[in-house]
């Protein structure tokens, strides 16, 4: 296996690996480890170029630093990407990836993400101890990620003055998290519009829950109270924001804003934005509980995820008080924690 260190300003360490025997092509980005080892999921995706994969892993790893700091997990921020098609997954590929993770000596701890699963992580774990989200421990973090997003949606609805039974939500992307969100929202009587490129999955979930299926190309233009992006990132940009017909945005996708300035663009459009790295922190909170010396505690994980809603309310209140965007209110809180950990520890 060929492992190459890359020097990227602002990042603790960025490393790529290639292994001819298994076909592994992967990048691990460690953004910051001031608060603890960098923890972040392993995304397997058929990126068209290595540059595209690099841009994704750098953005995601930085987002994990902010997410972990704001959620008070005791972790730093990192992420990994494997350049491959989902149908090309093999045990050999994940064993090679495990060796790659192990070569970093515990500075990075991986977990499941897009197109990877706890089962895949078990294979990685056969090679390295630096894995979280395993079956028999915290397991699949998707249900708790969904819980955190839904709690954020209820808080956002309250900001809009809308009761759960009167709320309408459009979910773009019904993977594991989007499906669980749909079930939770429908259980409280909310009207839920669902869309995904997999029409068969949409039809099945609509029949099960009473959600309303809409074409994928109508996700952003559907009139609703809250738009929940739950697919890939950078969905909020110069082209899409003017087409939105929602009052607020709260979803589980990472890096929803193509650029920071798009938060200001949403504010100018009168659209309330729940910072994605706060809203979708349920998964990292779950694995942080799994990582405790005392072992995993399901009730504790649940309580910590529910508290995401309380934090979001504080962010909304601060944003209103200072006349800034919610992410401008949230970012300094996270930055103070991971840039000055000693100062915060002394204050505690």
> Exposed, middle or buried, 257 (CB in 10 Å: 0-12/13-18/19+)?
buried
User: What one-character-per-residue DSSP string does 199-243 give?
Assistant: HHHHHHHHHHH--EE--GGGTTTS--SEEEE-SSS--BSTTTGGG
- The set of catalytic residues is 79
Cβ atoms 61, 39 nearer than 8 A: no
- Bridge partner list, 191: 168
Residue appearing with tokens 């841009």: 55
Angular region, 292: left φ>0, alpha ψ -120 to 50, beta rest = beta
Q: What is the rounded end-to-end Cα distance, in angstroms, of the chain?
A: 45
> Exposed, middle or buried, 31 (CB in 10 Å: 0-12/13-18/19+)?
buried
Distance CA 33, CA 277 (A): 17
Which residues 6+ apart lie within 8 Å of 342 measured at CB? Answer: none
Distance CA 148, CA 142 (A): 10
Distance CA 319, CA 155 (A): 14
Which residues 6+ apart lie within 8 Å of 253 measured at CB? Answer: 172, 173, 229, 230, 231, 232, 233, 235, 276, 280
Which sign does the torsion angle of CA 278, 280, 284, 290 carry?
positive
């Amino acid at each position: 296996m060929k492992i190459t260190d890359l020097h990227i300003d602002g990042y603790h360490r960025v490393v790529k690996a290639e292994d001819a025997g298994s076909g592994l092509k992967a990048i691990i980005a460690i953004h910051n480890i001031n608060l603890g080892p960098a923890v972040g999921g392993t995304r397997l995706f058929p990126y068209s170029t290595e540059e595209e994969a690099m841009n994704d892993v750098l953005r995601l790893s930085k987002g994990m630093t902010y997410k972990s700091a704001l959620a008070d997990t005791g972790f730093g921020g990192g992420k990994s990407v494997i350049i491959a098609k989902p149908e090309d997954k093999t045990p050999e590929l994940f064993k090679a990836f495990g060796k790659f993770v192990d070569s970093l000596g515990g500075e990075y701890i991986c977990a499941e993400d897009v197109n990877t699963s706890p089962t895949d992580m078990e294979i990685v774990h056969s090679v390295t101890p630096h894995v979280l989200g395993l079956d028999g421990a915290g397991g699949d973090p998707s249900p708790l990620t969904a819980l955190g997003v839904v709690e954020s949606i209820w808080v956002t609805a309250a900001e809009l003055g809308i009761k759960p039974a009167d709320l309408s939500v459009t979910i773009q992307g019904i993977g594991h998290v989007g499906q669980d969100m749909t079930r939770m929202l429908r259980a409280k009587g909310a009207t839920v519009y669902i869309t995904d490129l997999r029409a068969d999955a949409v039809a099945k979930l609509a029949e099960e829950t009473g959600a309303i299926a809409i074409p994928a190309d109508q996700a952003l233009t559907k009139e609703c109270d809250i738009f929940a992006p739950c697919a890939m990132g950078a969905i909020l940009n110069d082209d899409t924001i003017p087409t939105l017909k929602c009052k607020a945005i709260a979803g589980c996708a990472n890096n929803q804003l193509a650029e920071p300035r798009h938060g200001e663009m949403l504010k100018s459009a009168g659209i309330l934005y729940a910072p994605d790295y706060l809203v979708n922190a349920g998964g990292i909170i779950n694995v942080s509980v799994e990582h405790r010396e005392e072992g995993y505690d399901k009730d504790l994980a649940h309580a910590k995820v529910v508290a995401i809603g309380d934090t979001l309310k504080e962010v909304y209140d601060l944003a209103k008080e200072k006349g800034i965007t919610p992410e401008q209110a949230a970012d300094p809180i996270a930055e103070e924690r991971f840039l000055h950990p000693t100062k915060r520890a002394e204050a505690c």
